[in-house]
Amino acid sequence: MDTLFCGFLVWLAALCGISAATPSDVEARVADLIEKMTLAEKIGQMTQINGAGGTLPDDMRARVRNGGLGSVLNEVDVEIVNEIQRIAVEESRLGIPLLFGRDVIHGFRTVLPIPLGQAASFNPELVRRGARMAALEASASGVNWTFAPMIDMSRDPRWGRVAETFGEDPFLTSRMAVAMVRGFQGEDLSAPGNIAACAKHFAGYGAVEAGRDYATTNIAEHDLREVHFPPFRAAVDAGVATLMTSFSDLNGVPATGNRFLMTDVLRGEWNFDGFVVSDWASIEQLVIHGVAEDARDAARQAVDAGVNMEMATPLYRDHLAGLIEQGAVDPAQLDAMVADILRVKFRLGLFERPYRNPSDFPATANDEHLELAREAALQSLVLLQNRDRALPLNRTELRRVAVIGPLADDEYEQLGTWIFDGDTSITRTPLSALRRQLGDSAEVEYVRAMKNSRSRSTEGFAAARDAAASADAVLLFLGEESMLSGEAHCRAEIGLPGNQHDLVRTVAGAAKDKPVIAVIQAGRPLTLAPVLDQVDALLFAWHPGTMGGPAIADVLFGAESPSGKLPMTFPKMVGQIPIFFGHKHTGKPPSAENFIHIDDLEERMVQYSTGLVASHLDAGFEPQFPFGYGLSYASFRYGDIAVSRTSMALGESLTVSATVENTGDVAADEIVQLYTRDLVGQMTRPVRELKGFRRVRLKPGQKTRVTFDLHSDDLAFVGRTMERITEPGVFHAWIGGSSDADLRVEFRVTAAKPEEGS
């Protein structure tokens, strides 16, 4: 059958809506294709190049026509995408369609809050819907593969890429990872509008030394399996199509050349049958790391580790054929790696529906998408301070409002990092939303005060001071520009940059007894101690995306109550990092009773009799704000915690429940959280582990009983032999509104019951 006729059949199948290959025949079709492919065509499938930005150079045409390409990166002109795809399916010898990859991290044209902000919603269903929206918008531009979700575990807010993560906790990250995978891929990966997801970066990338991007990671295997692997395992179990390697080295072996990760664990233990793509040029970087002698050796090591596709660089294209001929790479191994790529393409339905017609998809930034972006922004907002109930503001009491700061009216900066395709023309800023909210009832005076968040100039401070002095309320919009977080944008100090602290002091001094409200936009937790004493209320908005402005305005004026909770611990100062709620108990655990502040130290006190503990003399052991923390305009009372039974055997379940009552005067959402502790284990165990969470909405005076199911398997941990086990023993459980909840109950896990007749 000639190539043109093959292409005609593909086109006809797409036109007639023939469904994609079923799981039962995918393997047969993959094997049939592998049998027909030349070595050059196989290597072509393992090759990805960067697009030409809306053009189609002759050399790319030739490469696609010759079967020398498996994927194109960063091409979002749908006409160019379709033309490249047409050449692949109609003019190449075997008609194998291409993957078109793009970083669709938190939205496409319509931008959602950064993933760290989405995690603050503690709402996996909202994350799933957001990923579905992003997939539809990206599909209309020809994208069929996204490099998300990023599910690296990080407990260091200095690292710029925490903005892309779901925070510090493996349980929360796992839940969000599954939600995002299902949002991108749907129930049927081949259905129109679904795109292949890519869990990244495998593995340990978030533990880079000192929060410096690309730096070394040294992680004990136990911690890899206990903390860093679970979100990836959850994504694999949810059917994620692809994974991406980490840039960093892991215990001396760069992830891109790490056979333990890609072959032993991912495929051997987890039975992953999708494919692995390198990060940008990370195969070439094996030479820079110093573990590969040259480009040829780097290609060999990456193949041996199990990296199916090379992103951007040409090492596979240049060296794999020679490595095969010289016996350095087994041809059967190469066939298996190509099969993984083809399997994903069949599952995506690309052989049946290779082209994208924008009219088949909803218009980008439509009303439904904008409302979803507003809802996501709203649920991401975390109220960290509200002295004397400064918020919400009563608009009937306001005649003049001062809006001050560099991030009040910046359409681009509020979108956050990784928004290549974000449409700033649809951004709704806080300033525009506030003016809409207030209408003619109050005058809004806007003073930018600083050119950007990094500015050291005080030139605009006088105008800010005057505006604050004459206003009934002051709204300060501060934080980080989007460029201060993200890849390769790490910070050694994580306070408000530039002269913002001075701006806050200037404005607070001028405002006197009027409410001063700070709204912080940032891509990471910040050290906020210098600000907290100066402002009455502080709302942390992350980078909230397209509809951040209306969401913020709704909360400031009480149309909505804030409900977000922190997905990362906020330190008091940088020296506390890493600080996270799931730390170990240690042999000398800190407590409020034995903490000594450095200002109180006397020579006679520096003795063991004072009870030296695992803490800092100048910061203590407690964070500024703990994981799971977030205030509301309502108040919630927790009580009557109970377990359905005080003892369960291995393999059994019990329930943990508590009563939650809204004792405030407004309806509001509360995120109820379940934590446990294993008191004795063969390995030291965290002081608390998140095991469940639930968002509930309660009217004033309303009370509900929130129940969590807890199976003995949920209490498993990685033991000394690197196997997951649940040990009999005593456990504590807490239910509350943050990780420092004090409502506790105790239960016991016993050995498994013997089977009847044994």
> Distances from the Cα of 1 to the Cαs of 11, 29, 62, 94, in angstroms?
15, 16, 22, 10
- Tell me, what's the pLDDT at 608? 42
Across the range 523-535, mean pLDDT stands at: 97
The residue behind tokens 């100066």 is 534
Confidence of residue 13 (pLDDT cuts 50, 70, 90): very low
- Tell me, what's the pLDDT at 616? 87
Q: Is 665 in the active site?
A: no
**Each residue's pLDDT tens digit, 275-290:** 999 999 999 999 999 9
Between β-strands 636-643 and 145-146, what pairing exists: parallel, antiparallel or unpaired? unpaired
From 406, 577, 567, select the one nearest 484 (Cα to Cα). Answer: 406
**Virtual torsion, Cα 402, 407, 412, 413, nearest 10 deg:** -160
- Tell me, what's the pLDDT at 2? 42
**Each residue's pLDDT tens digit, 326-376:** 999 999 999 999 999 999 999 999 999 999 999 999 999 999 999 999 999
Q: What is the mean pLDDT of the chain?
A: 94
- Whole-angstrom distance, CA of residue 570 vs CA of residue 623: 6
Percent of the chain with pLDDT over 90: 91
Domain boundaries of the chain, sorted by first residue: 3-356, 367-556, 587-622, 636-750
Confidence of residue 752 (pLDDT cuts 50, 70, 90): confident
Query: What's the distance, Cα to Cα, between the start and end of the chain in Å?
Result: 64
Within 10 Å of residue 459's Cβ, how many Cβ atoms? 10
> Distances from the Cα of 504 to the Cαs of 625, 641, 712, in angstroms?
20, 43, 50
Verify cis geometry, omega within 30 degrees of 0, for the bond prior to 578. yes
- Is pLDDT larger for residue 187 or for residue 608? 187
Longest dimension (CA), the chain: 92
Residue 18 confidence (pLDDT) above 90: no
- The domain 3-356 having CATH identifier 3.20.20.300: the answer here is yes
Residue 503 confidence (pLDDT) above 50: yes
Verify cis geometry, omega within 30 degrees of 0, for the bond prior to 203. yes
- Tell me, what's the pLDDT at 589? 85
Least confident of 529-543, 577-591, 724-738: 577-591
Looking at the structure, give the CATH architecture of the domain made up of residues 367-556: 3-Layer(aba) Sandwich (3.40)
> Distances from the Cα of 123 to the Cαs of 61, 105, 129, 137, 179, in angstroms?
44, 17, 10, 22, 9
Q: Cβ distance 418 to 486 under 8 Å?
A: yes
Q: Cβ distance 685 to 677 under 8 Å?
A: yes
- Tell me, what's the pLDDT at 351? 98
Pair of tokens at residue 19: 């469904």
- Which residues, in sequence order, are CB contacts of 468 under 8 Å at separation 6+? 402, 404, 474, 506, 507, 508, 510, 511, 514, 516
**Burial class of residue 91 in the structure, from the number of CB atoms within 10 Å of its CB (0-12 exposed, 13-18 middle, 19+ buried):** middle
Percent of the chain with pLDDT over 70: 93
- Whole-angstrom distance, CA of residue 103 vs CA of residue 106: 9
Q: Cβ distance 478 to 528 under 8 Å?
A: no
Residue 223 confidence (pLDDT) above 70: yes
- Tell me, what's the pLDDT at 753? 74
Across the range 418-442, mean pLDDT stands at: 97
Residue 601 confidence (pLDDT) above 60: no
Across the range 129-148, mean pLDDT stands at: 98
Residue 544 confidence (pLDDT) above 90: yes
Least confident of 240-249, 471-480, 517-526, 618-627: 618-627
Residues β-bridged to residue 203:
none
Per DSSP, the three-state class of 698 is: strand
- Tell me, what's the pLDDT at 24? 67
**Virtual torsion, Cα 582, 524, 167, 183, nearest 10 deg:** 170
> Where in 699-752 does DSSP place strands (E)?
703-711, 717-718, 724-725, 729-736, 744-750
Residue 22 confidence (pLDDT) above 80: no
Across the range 21-44, mean pLDDT stands at: 91
Pair of tokens at residue 653: 């379940």
Confidence of residue 85 (pLDDT cuts 50, 70, 90): very high
Residue 635 confidence (pLDDT) above 70: yes
- Whole-angstrom distance, CA of residue 14 vs CA of residue 18: 6
**pTM value?**
0.95
- The domain 636-750 having CATH identifier 6.10.140.120: the answer here is no
- Which residues, in sequence order, are CB contacts of 220 under 8 Å at separation 6+? none
**Each residue's pLDDT tens digit, 387-410:** 999 999 999 999 999 999 999 999
Across the range 211-216, mean pLDDT stands at: 97
Across the range 415-444, mean pLDDT stands at: 97
List the catalytic residue out of 103, 156, 249, 279: 279
Residue 661 confidence (pLDDT) above 70: yes
Show the DSSP H helices in 366-460 as ranges: 367-380, 430-438
CA 114, 116, 119, 121 torsion-angle sign: negative
